[in-house]
Amino acid sequence: MAEDLVCPSCGQSHRLEERFCSRCGMPLVLPGGSSTEAARDETHARLRKIRPEYADGPLVTVAGARHQAEAEMIQGFLLEEGVPSVLKRTAGFDVPDFLAAGPRDVLVPETGAELARELLAEPEP
């Protein structure tokens, strides 16, 4: 009989037909095998950080940034927590003169919106 799959993060066993850990959402691997495949490139490394439970549903706006650099910082912060996001120029600023300047909206899938808002909220004094 074939071996069960295991989670490389928390070690929980799963049936062969399952693909993601029910506890932490990581992709499952065969036991004893290499649990971490080397990332092929930067895009592959970024995509591996996305947690599947935060990647479903329509895109919703969770934050606004004053310029592209600030928006990319927010995007990186969310990605470190497993929340995928996309950047969109705020309406009215989508002209060639403002390619890198101008405000941006940060959008995330609906299932990741609550966590994203929590992470980006102002800390209470």
Whether 45 maps to a domain, the answer reads no
Q: How far apart are the first and last CA of the chain?
A: 57
Q: How far apart are CA 7 and CA 39, in angstroms?
A: 18
Shared domain check, 60 and 24: no
- Name the domain count of the chain: 2
Give residue-wise pLDDT tens across range 52-111.
Answer: 899 999 999 999 999 889 999 999 999 999 999 999 988 777 666 656 778 899 999 999
pLDDT of residue 38: 66
Is residue 27 within 8 Å of residue 33, measured between CB atoms? no
Average pLDDT for 108-120:
95
Same domain, 14 and 65: no
Greater confidence (54 vs 26) lies with 54
- 14 and 70 part of one domain: no
The CA radius of gyration of the chain, in Å to the nearest whole number, is: 18
Percent helix, strand and coil across the chain, each to the nearest 5: 30, 20, 50
Question: For residue 47, is it within any domain?
Answer: no
Q: Mark out the alpha helices in 15-90 (DSSP H runs).
A: 42-47, 68-80
Residue 44 lies in a domain: no
Residue range(s) defining the domain that contains residue 68? 52-120
Q: Which residue type does 84 have? A: P
